[in-house]
């Protein structure tokens, strides 16, 4: 007998989540939070204004599917793993390239030192006065014969302005 619906009572249970029925009293709503993705069955039961509960075969059973948040889905995890692997590969390739550049620079520096030594030996073996200046006229290279003629040491001559100091 549901002649006074304001006195009807309700209870519900989410199979797979709740272990016991939840009595909501006269309120005809329920709320769940933090449900994991999956399939559930929501059972709802009601009593009349006399407090007589319906039979189990009269209870309402709703099938509910709760979708997982996107970060818990398989496609997102696969995408994240691919992205993570790409970052690792990028770092490895970058480090290999960096090592290769360092090796190449060391090789180039070694060749430059060797070339400079050959140049220095060639210049020092000639009796001519040879020097090189930068854009400001400061000496940045001189041959041994300039040292011999001027009396300056290499440390003293490098950085001098040729026109002001030597002549």
Decide if pLDDT at 163 tops 80. Answer: no
What is the per-residue pLDDT for 59? 85
Give the best-scoring range by mean pLDDT among 71-80, 83-92, 119-128.
83-92
The pTM is what?
0.48
What is the per-residue pLDDT for 136? 81
pLDDT digits 0-9 by tens, 114-154: 998 888 787 777 777 666 777 887 877 777 776 677 777 76
Instruction: Give 33-78 as a DSSP string.
Output: -SPPSEEEEEEEEEE-TT-PBPPGGGSEEEEEEEPPPGGGSHHHHH
What CA–CA distance (Å, rounded) separates 15 from 61?
A: 10
Q: Is 122 helix (H, G, I), strand (E, B) or coil?
A: helix
């Amino acid at each position: 007998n549901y002649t006074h619906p304001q006195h009807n009572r309700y209870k519900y249970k989410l199979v797979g989540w709740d272990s016991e029925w939840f009595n909501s009293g006269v309120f005809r709503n329920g709320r769940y939070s933090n449900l994991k993705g999956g399939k559930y069955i929501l059972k709802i039961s009601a009593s009349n204004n006399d407090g007589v509960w319906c039979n189990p075969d009269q209870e309402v059973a709703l099938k509910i599917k709760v979708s997982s948040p996107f970060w818990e889905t398989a496609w997102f995890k696969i995408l994240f793993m691919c992205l993570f692997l790409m970052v690792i590969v990028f770092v490895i390739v970058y480090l290999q390239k960096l090592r290769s550049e360092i090796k190449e620079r060391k090789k180039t520096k070694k060749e430059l030192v060797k070339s400079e030594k050959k140049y220095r030996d060639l210049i020092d073996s000639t009796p001519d006065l040879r020097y090189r200046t930068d854009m400001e006229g400061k000496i940045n290279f001189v041959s041994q014969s300039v040292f011999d003629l001027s009396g300056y040491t290499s440390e003293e001559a490098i950085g001098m302005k040729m026109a002001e100091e030597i002549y």
